[in-house]
Structures are given as structure tokens and as C-alpha cells.
Amino acid sequence: MRIIPQQFFCDKVSGWLFKTKSFLQYWWLSSGANALHSPFVFALFQQVIQEKDKHYQAFEALATWREAMKNSQDSLEIQDFGAGSQVFKGQKRRVSDMIRHSASSCINSKLLFRLVDYCKPQTILELGTHLGQATNYLAAAAAPTARIVSVEGCPVTSQYAQRMALKQFLPIQFVVGELSETLPKVLEDLKSLDFVFIDANHSAAALESYFLTMKPFLHKGSVVVIDDIRWSANMYAGWQCLKAHSVVKVSIDLFQLGLLFFREEQPKQEFVLKYWP
């Protein structure tokens, strides 16, 4: 009976040590605008990544939505198809706790908004809907002619996100099912991927599988954003593997988020940039 607590304790300590070491490495290696010699990355850093003070009208409705979720009394019975939660032990979870601990941070969601507003994609794919916070930010920034699809393995959270989605923004197509089964069908329907946000499973094997499945649908203007690249040592290894692919020309490490670009005209470059959410 004592093996389980000991294993749980060891996993917690191992995870804490990895994250501490990873943060120190990031802090040491990260640089600011002065070290950027790529005009593309410099403009992106100045106008999108570091532009945290610009206020968009849509942020008011999104902040109201988030506050309502934080005060929600609802509870959901979760089916977790990924690496599990580092916070919650059981499957039944309060929405208010989920939005505080598991959903994309408000700062990172605003960065997603700015990226979509800057890149102006016509097709947006989200892997991992969760409660729909990032989904709503993506939809709020998208052009009226764009199309957004969000895929979630857990039917309960997907249905809840669909019910709570803000209707004044771009309509969201919600797809339910394990990604290994649903992703190929979604890609055939979309035909091309302009912007992808991955916040699902949190394992290197799954991340690599998603990327290889999506690869034929990516193009030189595509943007892939990966959340929680330092979730674990395994997840960080997956990020390292993805940015090493020959089709990836520019990778940007923002500690929690990883950005991939496929600009054929640009030599392969890797950046670790200062970003303090």
C-alpha cells in the first residue's frame, strides 16, 4: 500500500526538479529584441509577442466570460485521453477550478488572439478544446471569412464548451472524438492549415503523431502553436523533436508556448525569447 504514495511523491519531486531546471535554462538562454537579426522575428516579437498593453474591444466580452466561468457552480465528469492532470486526482471537477488551473492562462490566450489578428489565417484548427477559453479568443480574433474547428476527446467538456461559447464571434465547429480517429477526417475537410493550436495529450509520442498527420496540410505561411512545451521532460523532448523537422524553418520558445513557422525563404533558425506572462 505504501508503493503508490512513494511513487506519487517521486513523480512530484521529479516533475518539480525538471521544471525548475528548465526554467533556469530558459532564463539563461532567452533574449530580447536587441539580439534579433531576423526582420520577420523582430517584427513578430515587437508587434505581437511583447505587445501586451494594446486593448481590443473583444477582450471585454472575453473577460466577462472568464469571470462567469470562475464563478460557475457546475461540475463535470471528465474523460482524460492524454497524460492526465498535474493538479486534479479525480475525474469529477468543478468548472471554476478547471478554469483556474487547467485552462490556457488569460495572458497566453491574449497572445493567441494577437497572433491570429496579425497572421490573419483563413483556417484555424485547435486540438484540445477543454472549456473553450482559447477557442473563444481564437474565434474573437479571426476574420469573418475564416473557419475554426476545435477538436476535443472528452464529450462532456466539448458539449459544455459549445454551450458556453460566445455567439457574437466567428462560429466554431466543435468535433468530438479521439484525435487519432477524428484528426484525419477534419484535415480532409479543411484541405489546408493556416493556424494550429495544440493543447492536447501532453506526450511526445502524441505530439509527433499529430504533427506528422498534419504535415501534408501545412504550407509556408502556416503557424503552429504548442502549449505546455515544458509540461514534462517527455513533452519537452517532443518539442525538441518537432522543431528539428526539416520543414520547420523558424521555432520560437516562449517557455510555456512554442511557435513553429514554415517560411521556405528563410534559413532554419531557433529562438528562445523573453516572454513573461
The string of pLDDT tens digits covering residues 157-211 is 999 999 999 999 999 999 999 999 999 999 999 999 999 999 998 999 999 999 9
How much is the pLDDT for 276? 73
Asked, for residue 26, whether it belongs to a domain, the answer is: no
CB atoms within 10 A of CB 61: 14
Q: What is the mean pLDDT of residues 227-234?
A: 94
pLDDT band at 52 (very low <50, low <70, confident <90, very high): confident
Asked, for residue 18, whether it belongs to a domain, the answer is: no
Asked, for residue 12, whether it belongs to a domain, the answer is: no
Asked, for residue 2, whether it belongs to a domain, the answer is: no
How much is the pLDDT for 101? 73
Is the per-residue pLDDT at 151 higher than 60?
yes
Find out whether 75 and 93 touch, Cβ atoms under 8 Å.
Answer: yes
**Long-range pairs for 237-243 at CB < 8 Å and ≥24 separation?**
237/204, 238/203, 238/204, 238/205, 238/206, 238/207, 238/208, 239/207, 241/204, 241/207, 241/208, 242/207, 242/208, 242/211, 243/270
pLDDT band at 12 (very low <50, low <70, confident <90, very high): low
Is the per-residue pLDDT at 124 higher than 80?
yes
Which residue in 10, 12, 7, 15 sits closest to 230, CA to CA?
A: 15
Tens-digit pLDDT profile for residues 61-82: 999 999 999 999 999 987 765 5
User: How high is the mean pLDDT of the chain?
Assistant: 89
Q: What is the mean pLDDT of residues 12-29?
A: 84
Distance between the two ends of the chain, CA-based, in angstroms?
Answer: 41
How much is the pLDDT for 18? 86
Is the per-residue pLDDT at 88 higher than 60?
no
Question: For the chain, how many structural domains are there in total?
Answer: 1
The region, left, alpha or beta by phi > 0 then psi within -120 to 50, assigned to residue 121 is: beta
How much is the pLDDT for 17? 86
In the sheet with 172-176, reading across from the earlier edge strand, the strands are 172-176, 147-152, 123-127, 195-198, 223-226, 258-261, 250-253, 269-272
How much is the pLDDT for 16? 77
Tens-digit pLDDT profile for residues 252-263: 999 999 999 999
Asked, for residue 124, whether it belongs to a domain, the answer is: yes
pLDDT band at 30 (very low <50, low <70, confident <90, very high): very high
Find out whether 195 and 125 touch, Cβ atoms under 8 Å.
Answer: yes
Task: Please tell me what DSSP assigns to residue 82.
Answer: S
Asked, for residue 135, whether it belongs to a domain, the answer is: yes
How much is the pLDDT for 35? 87
Asked, for residue 14, whether it belongs to a domain, the answer is: no
Query: What dihedral angle (degrees, nearest 10) is formed by the CA atoms of 18, 92, 76, 102?
Result: -10
Is the per-residue pLDDT at 86 higher than 50?
no
Could you tell me the CATH number of the domain that includes residue 104? Answer: 3.40.50.150
Asked, for residue 17, whether it belongs to a domain, the answer is: no
pLDDT band at 3 (very low <50, low <70, confident <90, very high): very low
Is the per-residue pLDDT at 85 higher than 90?
no
List 94's β-bridge partners, or say none.
75
C-alpha cell at position 202: 501532453
Lowest mean pLDDT among 21-25, 100-104, 125-129, 173-177: 100-104
List 123's β-bridge partners, or say none.
147
How much is the pLDDT for 82? 52
Domain ranges, residue 184: 31-272
